[in-house]
Amino acid sequence: MPRFRYHIVMVSVAAMLSAWCALLARAVADGPASQVTSQPETAPPAPDSAATQSSANQPESHPTSTPSDHTASDALVDPLAELERAVMRLIDDASPWVVAIAVERRAAPAAAARDPFVTSASGSGVIIRSDGRILTNQHVIADAATIHVTLHDGRRFRARRVAADPRADLAVIAVAEEGLPIAPLVDARELQRGAIVLALGNPLGLAADGQAAAALGIVSAIARPLPETFGRDEDRYYGDMIQTTAQIHPGHSGGPLIDRRGRVVGIVAAASLPQAGAEPIAFAIPLTARTQLVIDKLLDGVEPDYGYAGVRVGSLSELRGRRDRGGVLLETVFPDGPAHAAGLRDGDVILAMEGSTVDSADEFVQRVGAAGPDRTVEMEYERQGRRGRTRVTLARRPPTESHPARIAPFVFRGATLGEPDAATRQAGRLPGGCLMVLVVANGSPADRAGLTPGDVIVRIEGQPVTADASRRLAEASGDVLLGLSHGGSVLVRK
Question: What whole-number distance in Å separates Cα of residue 493 and Cα of residue 462?
Answer: 16
Calculate the alpha carbon distances from 456 to 273, 337, 423, 450, 468 in Å.
12, 43, 14, 13, 17
What 3-state DSSP class applies to 152?
coil
Residue type, 60: E
Catalytic residue among 124, 139, 240, 259: 139
CA distances from 206 to 133, 213, 258 (A): 23, 8, 20
Confirm whether 169 is a catalytic residue: yes
**How many C-beta neighbours within 10 Å does residue 100 have?**
30
In this structure, which amino acid lies at residue 337?
G
Which listed residue (95, 122, 169, 421) is catalytic? 169
- CA triple 316-285-239, angle to 5 deg: 15
- Whether 8 contacts 75, CB under 8 Å: no
3-state secondary structure of 29: helix
Burial code (b: 16+ CB inside 10 Å, e: under 16) for 13-36 equals beeebeebbeebeeebeeeeeeee
**Number of residues that make up the chain:** 494
Does the annotation mark 70 as catalytic? no
**How far apart, in Å, are the Cα atoms of 12 and each of 16, 19, 222, 245?**
6, 11, 17, 11
* Closest alpha carbon to 445 in 477, 418, 412, 420: 412
Active site residue: 122, 253, 272, 470, which one?
Answer: 253
Determine the 3-state secondary structure of 64 from DSSP.
Answer: coil
Nearest to 165 by CA among 368, 303, 308: 303
Instruction: Enumerate the active-site residues.
Output: 139, 169, 253
